[in-house]
Amino acid sequence: MAYTMVDLCWKLSVCFFCCQVVSGRVKRDGHYVAAVYEHESILSPNPTALVDRQSALELMGRNLDIYEQQVVAAARQGAQIIVFPEDGIHGFNFTRSSIYPYLDFVLHSHSVKWNPCREPYLFNDTEVLQRLSCMALKNKIFLVANLGTKQPCEHTDPHCPSDGRYQFNTNVAFNDDGMLVATYRKHNLYFEDAFDAPPEPDYKLFDTPFAGKFGMFTCFDILFFEPAVNLIRQYNLKQVVYPTAWMNQLPLLAAVEFQQAFATAFNINILAANIHHPTLGMTGSGIYTPVKSFIYHNMESYGGKLIVAEIPVITTDYKTNLESNERFRENLHHSCKTSTSASMGNQVCFKEEQETPGRVSEKGNEQLPPLFYAEMMYDNFTFVPVWGEEGELQVCANTLCCYLNYQRAVLTGELYALGVFDGLHTVHGTYYVQACALVKCGGLSFSTCGQEVTDATAVIDFQLWGNMSTPYIFPLLLTSGITLDFADHMGWKNKHYFISKNRTSSGLLTAALYGRWYEKD
C-alpha cells in the first residue's frame, strides 16, 4: 500500500555511480538493505498447560518454518539483515513453569564464540538457536530474533530465583556466517510473569560490515532510559534493531507512531518488527530513518508481512548528526539548536527574528475557549477545544505550558482539542510524561477527547510548542488511517520545544510532543 508505492519510487530512483548489484537489486553506496517481518505467530491453544520439550519444539518449529521462508525471500531481495518480532517463536500468556519447555539454553557470556549451526553439540537445549543460526548461515544474512532462554543459577547467587534458574526474554543476533554475535535480555518486562529481568541492564550491540554497529532492545524498553537511551548515548549508536510485541494505544502510543518518533528524536535508523495479532491490537512494524519510513500497520487482514527497504547508513561525521546530538545535550535550552526538514542534510533553523514563542496574544479571542478535563490513555489531560478556522491557544498543567498556533486548511465539522499532561503515568507501567498534544476527539462532545480515533479529514496547519523540562521529546505526527507524516520544523527555541507542519498528506489524527522525564519515574 503506501509502503509499496514509496518503496517502488525508492528502488527506481536513478543511480549514477557507486552502485553495487546485490542479488539483483541495485544498491547505492552508503546504503544497505534491511528487512523486518511482522509475524502472526502460531500460538499454543493452552499456554498455561505443562507440555514436554518435544511438543514445545513442534509448535515453535511451525513458526520457524515461516521464519525460514521469510529469510529466503528477504535474502533474495538483497536484504543484509532481517529482524523478527518479540514472542514470535514461542507466543505469549505462559506462566513461569509452563514456558519452561519452550526455553533454549543460552550462555550470556562475552567470552564464548559459538556458531550453533556449525557446532550444535556444544550445548543441550539449543534447537531453536541452531535453526536460526542455520538460516543466517545458509542465506548469508544477519538475523535477529527473540526467544525464551534459561540459565541455571546457584543459590549462592542472591538474585537466583527459588527454582534455581533464570528465565529471560532474549534477543539473539547472528552474523551472516551463523555465529551468535550478541544476546540481549529484556530489562523492562511488561507484566511477563514467565520471565526474570536481568540483575543489571544489558548494553548489547553487534558490528556489521555494511552499517557498523547495531544496538538492540525489546518492546517496552523503548519508553525507558535504561537500557535504551543509555545504550544509544554511550555507544553513539545510529542503528537499532527492535523486536516488539506492541499493543497499539491511540492517540499517542501506536507502534508505528512511536517507533518513528524515536528514530527522529535520536536521529537513528530503527528496524522494528512487531507481531501481528489484530484482535489483540498488535500490528505496526517498519524500517525507519529519521526522515523517511517504510511501515506496515494493518488491523484488517491476517497473516504476516515482509518489509524490505534500502536505507542510508547514518554515519557519525554527518553534519545532521553533530547538530542533532545537541538536541539531547545536558545543556538543554539553546535557541535554534536543531530542526529537521523533509530531507536529511537539509537542516533549517528557525529564523532568529521570528516571533518568540511565548505568551499568546488575546487578539480575536473575545471569549477564551473553556478548559476541560478528559482522560487520555489513562491520564487526566487538561484540554481546550480548537474552535474556528484559526487561532492561538494556550493550556497549562503543573509546570508545563503548551501553545498552539493553527489554521484549518481543510474545513470539516470534526472536533479537535489541545491537551497538556505533566505527571506520573501509573496504569500499565509507571513513567513520568510531559506531553503537549493536538488530537482529534472521538465525537463532538468534550468527553470524547482522548478517545482512540483512526480516521480524520481535517487538515490543520500548526505550530505547537511547550516549555518542557526534559530534553527527551518524541515528536508524534499521525495521520488518517494510521499513516505517518513528518514535521516541517522541530527543535528547541528559547526554552521551548516546537514542531510545525503545513499540509499533512492526509487528515490529522495526532500532533504531539511526547516528553519523557526519566529522572521523575
Ligand X SMILES: *[C@@H]1O[C@H](CO)[C@@H](O)[C@H](O)[C@H]1NC(C)=O
Site for ligand X, rule CB under 6 A: 43, 47, 93, 123-124, 373, 380, 399, 401, 407, 461, 467, 469, 488, 502
Residue 463: strand, helix, or coil:
strand
The x, y and z cell numbers of residue 206, run together, are 553487534
Q: How far is the CB of 463 from ligand X (least distance, A)?
A: 8
Phi, psi of 129 (to 5 degrees): -60, -40
Q: How far is the CB of 405 from ligand X (least distance, A)?
A: 8
Q: How far is the CB of 467 from ligand X (least distance, A)?
A: 4
**Given 27, 38, 40, 86, the catalytic residue:** 86
Residue 36: strand, helix, or coil:
strand
**Given 150, 186, 305, 337, the catalytic residue:** 186
DSSP character string of 99-166: TGGGPEE----SS--B-TTT-GGGSSS-HHHHHHHHHHHHHT-EEEEEEEEEEE--TTSTT--TTSEE
Which residues is 309 bridged to in the sheet? 34
Alpha helical stretches, state H, 282-389? 319-325
Q: How far is the CB of 90 from ligand X (least distance, A)?
A: 12
Q: Is 396 a catalytic residue?
A: no
Q: Which is nearer to ligand X, 80 or 470 (CB)?
A: 470
Q: Which is nearer to ligand X, 269 or 479 (CB)?
A: 479
The x, y and z cell numbers of residue 187, run together, are 530489562
Nearest to 198, CA basis, from 160, 162, 229: 160
Q: Which is nearer to ligand X, 494 or 506 (CB)?
A: 494
Q: Is 186 a catalytic residue?
A: yes
Q: Which is nearer to ligand X, 27 or 408 (CB)?
A: 408
Decide if 185 contacts 201 (C-beta within 8 A).
no
Q: Which is nearer to ligand X, 288 or 383 (CB)?
A: 383
Q: Which is nearer to ligand X, 248 or 469 (CB)?
A: 469
Q: How far is the CB of 134 from ligand X (least distance, A)?
A: 19
How many angstroms separate the CA atoms of 456 and 413, rounded? 10
Q: How far is the CB of 138 from ligand X (least distance, A)?
A: 25
Cβ-count burial of 221 within 10 angstroms (0-12 exposed, 13-18 middle, 19+ buried)?
A: buried
Handedness of CA 442, 446, 450, 451 (dihedral sign): negative
How many helices, marked H, and strands, marked E, lie in the chain?
6, 27
Kindly list the catalytic residues: 86, 186, 219
